[in-house]
């Protein structure tokens, strides 16, 4: 005779409440450090110069940082997926020259020149991606070659001189000098671009795949992610945004600039991305930290300029910040020192 056994009734257990993260913890240590550094820089130069913190000067800082910000945002994307683009400054020069020269030559309106510039940027970006993916060239080497080649292309197209005059066109004037709700149009373009890229990276499968490619490309490939297509698309994106930056450079200066205004932007963009928390090996980073780093670099550069510090020292400061950012990353990741056993 068997005796029926009854299992004890199941007890409904309420899930443990999720621990709420404080706003400071949500920001992260990297971003908090950048905010602290930005506050120190603003306070220091604000004490040294009464007009430094004025609304008009802060708008100057924002406008001057726009081109760097646009390039740094898309540089963040390419670094996250394990790449790098050193040629972005030269791409800006090509787009600036193309936008002004096509506008002047056709006489058919500013949109024609802008579309031509974006098309040129897209073509350059795709070329970079194809060379890296199908030519199997290291991204640093490929875009280093592009840095020289595209700079030469911009100078060949323009004969080494500023080209065209666009300040008699309403759209160019609006982009370069207009305001919406009190903020320069250029700043709004940066904000829209940054928000779009943040949404792409944070809330879409594309963004998750980009992080996966940068984190472990072998695992990403085994998971069915078409890495080659992603890489070409990312470099195409950076080419298009560099073209937009070139158009804004033309609108701001009034003519196509083959070198002036774009030279050195690649270093600023990479420095901002690294300071913002992007791991140069890929798989880590975000738009928020990059924008904070752009603001820090812009405030520092403007403050040094206001104080009459030689611009050569600004280059020294940028280089030192880039090295410092990489050193901090290495320490946080526990990377072994080169050539040492521990």
Of the listed ranges 33-47, 197-211, 321-335, the one predicted with least confidence: 321-335
**Mean pLDDT to the nearest integer, 21-47:** 78
Phi and psi at residue 256, to the nearest 5°: -75, 130
The arithmetic mean of pLDDT across residues 8-16, rounded, is 46
Q: How far apart are CA 267 and CA 302, in angstroms?
A: 17
Contacts of 31 (CB under 8 A, 6+ apart): 277, 288, 289, 292
> What is the spatial distance between Cα 114 and Cα 132, in angstroms, rounded to a whole number?
27
Q: Which is it for strands 183-184 and 179-180: parallel, antiparallel or unpaired?
A: antiparallel
Task: Inform me whether the pLDDT recorded for 229 exceeds 70.
Answer: yes
> How would residue 263 be classed by pLDDT, with cut points 50, 70 and 90?
confident
Q: From residue 257, give the alpha-carbon distance in Å to each of 63, 165, 172, 247.
A: 17, 11, 14, 10
Question: How much is the pLDDT for 72?
Answer: 97
The secondary structure of residue 256, as a DSSP letter, is B
Q: Quick one: average pLDDT of 276-288?
A: 90
More confident residue, 4 or 304: 304
* Weakest mean pLDDT among 12-21, 23-32, 126-135, 216-225: 12-21
pLDDT of residue 25: 53
Predicted pLDDT at 227: 95
Q: Tell me: pLDDT of 87 over 60.
A: yes
Query: Measuring CA to CA, which residue among 93, 64, 65, 87 is closest to residue 255?
Result: 93
Helices (H), 81-184: 88-106, 110-134, 139-158, 170-177
Q: Please state the length of the chain.
A: 342
pLDDT at 79: 96
- Report pLDDT for 10: 47
- Closest to 38 (Cα-Cα) out of 268, 329, 289, 265: 289
The two three-digit tokens of residue 123, written as one number:
């073509």
Please state, rounded to an integer, the average pLDDT across all residues of the chain.
Answer: 87
Sequence-separated (6 or more) residues with CB below 8 Å from residue 298: 61, 62, 64, 65, 68
pTM summary value: 0.86
Position 71 pLDDT exceeds 50: yes
Residue 16: the pLDDT is: 47
- Going through the chain in order, the beta strands assigned E by DSSP cover 179-180, 183-184
Which tens digit of pLDDT belongs to each residue from 48-62?
A: 998 999 999 999 999
| 51-65, 136-150, 268-282, 324-338: least confident range | 324-338
In the DSSP assignment, the letter for residue 163 is B
Counting residues of the chain whose pLDDT is more than 90, the rounded percentage is: 65
Domain range summary for the chain, segments of one domain joined by +: 48-325
């Amino acid at each position: 005779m068997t005796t029926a056994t009854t299992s004890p009734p199941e007890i409904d257990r309420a899930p443990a409440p999720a621990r709420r993260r404080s706003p400071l913890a949500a920001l992260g240590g990297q971003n908090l450090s950048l905010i602290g550094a930005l506050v120190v820089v603003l306070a220091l130069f604000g004490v040294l110069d009464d007009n430094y913190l004025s609304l008009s000067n802060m708008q100057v800082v924002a406008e001057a940082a726009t081109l760097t910000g646009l390039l740094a945002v898309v540089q963040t994307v390419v670094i996250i997926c394990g790449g790098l683009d050193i040629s972005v400054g030269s791409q800006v020069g090509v787009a600036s020259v193309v936008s002004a020269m096509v506008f002047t030559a056709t006489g058919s309106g500013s949109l024609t020149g802008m579309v031509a510039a974006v098309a040129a940027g897209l073509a350059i970006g795709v070329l970079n991606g194809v060379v890296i993916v199908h030519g199997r060239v290291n991204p640093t080497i490929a875009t280093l070659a592009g840095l020289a080649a595209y700079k030469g292309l911009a100078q060949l197209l323009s004969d080494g001189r500023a080209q065209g005059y666009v300040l008699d066109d309403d759209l160019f004037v609006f982009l370069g000098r207009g305001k919406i709700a009190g903020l320069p149009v250029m700043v709004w373009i940066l904000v829209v671009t940054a928000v779009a890229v943040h949404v792409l990276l944070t809330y879409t499968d594309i963004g998750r795949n980009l992080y996966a490619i940068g984190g472990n490309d072998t695992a990403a490939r085994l998971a069915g992610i078409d890495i080659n297509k992603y890489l070409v698309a990312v470099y195409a994106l950076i080419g298009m945004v560099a073209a937009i930056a070139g158009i804004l450079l033309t609108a701001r200066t009034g003519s196509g600039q083959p070198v002036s205004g774009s030279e050195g932007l690649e270093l600023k963009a990479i420095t901002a991305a690294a300071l913002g928390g992007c791991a140069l090996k890929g798989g880590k980073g975000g738009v928020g930290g990059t924008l904070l780093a752009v603001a820090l670099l812009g405030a520092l550069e403007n403050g040094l300029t206001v104080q009459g510090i030689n611009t050569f020292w600004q280059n020294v400061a940028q280089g030192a910040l880039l090295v410092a950012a990489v050193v901090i990353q290495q320490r946080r990741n526990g990377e072994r020192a080169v050539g040492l056993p521990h």
